Amino acid sequence: MRPEYFQLISRIEAVDTAAGTARARAVVPEESTIFEGHFPGHPLMPGVLLIESMAQTSGFAILGMNGFEGMPFLAGVREAKLRRFVTPGNELDVEARVEHDGSGFAMTEASIRHEGSAVASAKLTFRVMPFPSPDFRTEMRSYAERLGFPLEVA
């Protein structure tokens, strides 16, 4: 995880294109400039970044289903719940399931757990559009592969 660069997934652990699911691991770094202001002396992972980690995991579920033919862009967040604090060093299990995919939109349900306990959950909406350029698509596939995305399923 590199929160300063909005790279909030450490590795992709599983993608099931038939089920429309993805599972990822996010390891919160021990040190990050994010924690200098959130909060001094009591570092906590910002809730908005937890939502973004669910969005990124959801995005990989969508990319798996569409074979990297359409790029999912986060368009909406509903029913977001932040249940416990996340601190430096925490290892998070992030799961996402595609509930709807069609007409240029996808909707997912996502959750985060730490040591088996619920941390966060949300219903997310994505606008799925053609990649803005072939180079961007290539970079996304390369990034996914570095994270462990099984490209053979896409």
pLDDT at residue number 4: 72
Task: Please determine, for residue 5, whether its predicted confidence score (pLDDT) is greater than 90.
Answer: no
> Which tens digits make up the pLDDT trace of 79-117?
999 999 999 999 999 999 999 999 999 999 999 999 999
pLDDT in tens, 43-59: 999 999 999 999 999 99
Q: What is the DSSP letter of 3?
A: G
- pLDDT tens digit string along 115-129? 999 999 999 999 999
pLDDT tens sequence across 7-35 = 999 999 999 999 999 999 999 999 999 99
**pLDDT number for residue 132:** 95
Active-site entry in 38, 42, 100, 114: 38
Q: Where are the beta strands (DSSP E) in 4-145?
A: 11-16, 21-27, 71-82, 91-102, 105-114, 117-129
Q: What confidence score (pLDDT) does residue 122 get?
A: 99
Residue 6 is predicted with a pLDDT of: 85
Q: What is the pTM of this model?
A: 0.96
Indicate if 100 belongs to the active site. Answer: no
Query: What are the chain's domains?
Result: 3-148 (3.10.129.10)
At 152 the pLDDT is 86
